Structure 1
């Protein structure tokens, strides 16, 4: 397990531009920092979209009228969780 600290500095003053971001890499071989950043951006996009959809479309309280709709929602939920875990 590797702990990575990401800090964004202002170009002129060199002071912190935002709060630090802590990332954790768990795996046998750590990829380059550029690859880690791309993986983080992909995961952030998926998680942000999922949270937005739940809040905007009220998916936390779905109104499912048929068994087919329930199965579709279960599959979609399983797919998004898998996509978040893989990325």
Structure 2
């Protein structure tokens, strides 16, 4: 695997880890509301961890976008984004 693919794999792995934290946080919220052994403080900590993990993903994505001279363009009709080379 070349260096570029390793960087993309790293970003994908970071995103998967963030989504796993999100899933676990949602499960904790369900447990909390069902009267389980999860405290509000536990949920707050999970939310903070999730926020930090998502920020790590965004920061790494921004590093890659800068390194490869990319910009993110929003498709106004769909709300999705696409990447393209920045105009120089």
TM over 0.5: no
TM-score, normalised via structure 1 length = 0.39
Q: Using structure 2 for the length normalisation, give the TM-score.
A: 0.39
Higher relative helix content: 2
